[in-house]
Structure 1
Amino acid sequence: MRPNGRPDDGGGAAGTGAARRAVFTPVDTRARVDTVVRRIGDAIELGLLADGEQLPGETDLAGQLGVSTVTLREALMALRQQGLVTTRRGRGGGSFVTLPDSPPEERLRARLADWSTEELRDLGDHWAAVSGAAALLAARRTQPGDLRPLTRTVEELAAAGDPATRSRLYGRFHVELAAAAQSARLTREEIALQTDLGALLCLVLDDPVHLGNVSDRHRAVISAVQDEADERARTLAETCVRESVGRLIALRLGTPGRAPEPRPEEDTHGQEHRARGPRGGHR
């Protein structure tokens, strides 16, 4: 029996299902078009919405997100311009997901150069705190069946052949972990964090040794959650994130170029972290 009083019957549909549901929860009541673009775009780049998947109709989707149809149409237009959504007219038409291409390494390194080591360290601290909290709560709340998506994602990550797919699955694991914690807010925060760091992880996940370490660490997180070892789960999740961000910082130290002055950040409670150049996904 879990602390929340639910029996361990293996039921429940967390993981990817819960992560997807978090995508279609209402955005902030003050939401602008760019907030909707960020929410849907992040989900596409993480693979929470599949390539070729049809989005709900405009009226339904606007209702789910809690925005007007005018706001939604403007957001869909922006997503089309970014190449993340394709619109088909006529019978069987609608808006369909288009998975973005992987960015070339030189573009990723240029994007990395936009960050100072202090900014990377600060964002890494934030990500570690979010992932650690998600792991701790998952160990306290989740059902055995809720962990199936996490296990599947880890095995896909271990077998993935290219850095872009690896980074997408790495990010998806942490989103699914937050979903297993039954926290829509933590789930949305994990999704938003992938915009800042997700694509950059391509630069460190091309190392098969690090990939193996990450996969083993993720399996250890799942094991700790299954054992209801909340503090161990938190420590493992935090360590995994800190190790990967530490590798990014080491790469940044060896990357020529100087980061610009930090720009003002928005409130990160479910909103975007910063508007930095191109979108942070796999382009």
Structure 2
Amino acid sequence: MRNGGRNLPAAGGRGAIFAPLEVGKRADAVVRRLSEGIRLGLLVPDEQLPSETDLAETFGVSPVTIREALTALRGQGLVTTRRGRNGGSFVRRVRGGASDVLRERLREVSPSELRDLADHYAAISGTCAQLAADRAGEQDVKLITDSVAELERSVDAAARRRAESRFQVELASAAQSPRLTRAVISMQNEVAPLLWLSATTPVAREEVLRKHREILAAVVDSDGSLARALAVAHVYAAQARASALQLTFLADDDEADPDAHALPGPTAEE
């Protein structure tokens, strides 16, 4: 899909990615917005970004700021620039070991922090689902449906994580609340590795897909209460899977290094 020039969709989660920046934001904010869009799958591999001039106008910054941001994105391996008649800046495919990312993130947080993160996200996700059921239009429903289809055809953990994150962002966008949408996008950097990579078995992945379909059906039926309950349950089910994996990882670490948690013994001087 190519979206050079002014062919810049403003619907759904993509609209939040390309929304004007707040006053005072510079290249780092552009980098954050576009990198979030790429990692969440809202901007797809090989997609051509708008021109520097159009990006500057869209974000409300100078072309120099855009060039600085694109340079940073190229350095992160998220964007490539091609020269010539059909040149421009294109989204690169994000690669990486999903299991390694999950293990690293689960080591960084305590069980109480994981629970607190899930509580925060459940509150936001539940509200988004309820409002989406009340406010979603045909285009919103189509974008949520597309994200469910994307999850269904995902073949690896990284693709499933992007599809799950996109589902959450499109759900927030359907709530017609820019603040909620920005909050969901921002939280994905914390949530996605911990919660959406934790469905490591075929049974768990099928359960996640079923939850997506059920939430979508509740939105289509304008059943806000059910949509909220399903969205909250979806988050807490992910937390339960992540907590179980966390215990497994800690047990593996203890087995590999049995002295890691041992009390220090007496020193030579003692």
TM-score, normalised via structure 1 length:
0.79
Distance apart, 1:34 and its partner CA: 2.4
Is the radius of gyration larger for structure 1 or structure 2?
Answer: 2
Name structure 2 gaps, 5 residues minimum.
1-8, 254-270
Alignment of 1:186-197 (within 5 A): 186-197=180-191
* Residue number among 120, 127, 130 corresponding to 2:114 in the alignment: 120
Compute the displacement of 1:114 (Å): 1.5
The aligned residue for residue 151 of structure 1 is: 145
Q: State the distance in 1 between where 2:60 and 2:27 align.
A: 12
Runs of 4 or more consecutive aligned structure 1 residues displaced over 4 Å after TM superposition:
none
Counterpart code for 2:118: G
Alignment CA distance shift 1:203-1:222 (3 Å): closer
RMSD: 2.2
The whole-number CA distance in structure 2 between the counterparts of 1:145 and 1:244 is 28
In the alignment, is the contact (CA less than 8 A) between 1:144 and 1:226 conserved in 2? no
C-alpha separation between the residues in 2 aligned to 1:37 and 1:205? 29
1:57–1:94: 8 Å Cα contact kept in structure 2?
yes
**1:163 is matched with which residue?**
157
**Residue 181 of structure 1 corresponds to which residue in structure 2?**
175
State the 1:202 CA deviation.
5.8
Deviation at residue 167 of structure 1 after TM alignment = 1.1
For 1:17 and 1:236, locate their aligned partners in 2 and report how far apart those are by CA, in whole Å: 24
Higher relative contact order by CA 8 Å / sep ≥ 6: 1 or 2?
1
| Match of residue 202, structure 2, among 208, 218, 226 | 208
**Is the 2:36–2:185 contact (alpha carbons within 8 Å) kept by the matching residues of 1?**
yes
Aligned to 2:55: 61
Matched, 1:73 2:71: no
Q: 1:145: Cα distance to partner? A: 4.7
> Is 1:94 aligned with 2:88?
yes
Count of aligned positions: 244
1:1-283 correspondence runs (5 A): 17-103=11-97, 105-201=99-195, 203-256=197-250
Rounded Cα–Cα distance in structure 1 between residues aligned with 2:196 and 2:238:
11
Distance 1:120 1:32, change over 3 A: farther
CA distance in 2, matches of 1:211, 1:156: 13
SS class of match (1:222): helix
Cα distance in 1 for partners of 2:123, 2:196 equals 22
Q: Quick check: 2:12–2:143 contact (8 Å CA) kept in 1?
A: no
CA drift at 1:117: 2.1
SS at match of 1:228: coil
- TM-score, with length taken from structure 2: 0.82
Counterpart residue number, 2:266:
none
Matches of 1:32 and 1:127, distance apart in 2: 28
What is the distance in 2 between the residues matched to 1:165 and 1:187? 21
How far residue 85 of structure 1 moved from its aligned partner, in angstroms, is: 0.4
Query: How far apart are 1:185 and its partner, in Å?
Result: 2.2
Equivalent residue of 2:49, what SS? coil
Gaps in structure 1 of 5+ consecutive residues: 1-14, 258-283
Partner amino acid, structure 1, of 2:47: E
User: 2:196 touches 2:238 (CA, 8 Å); kept in 1?
Assistant: no
Range moving further from structure 2, 171-180 or 67-76: 67-76
CA deviation after TM superposition for structure 1 residue 123, in Å: 1.8
Assess if the C-alpha contact under 8 Å between 1:19 and 1:176 holds in 2: yes
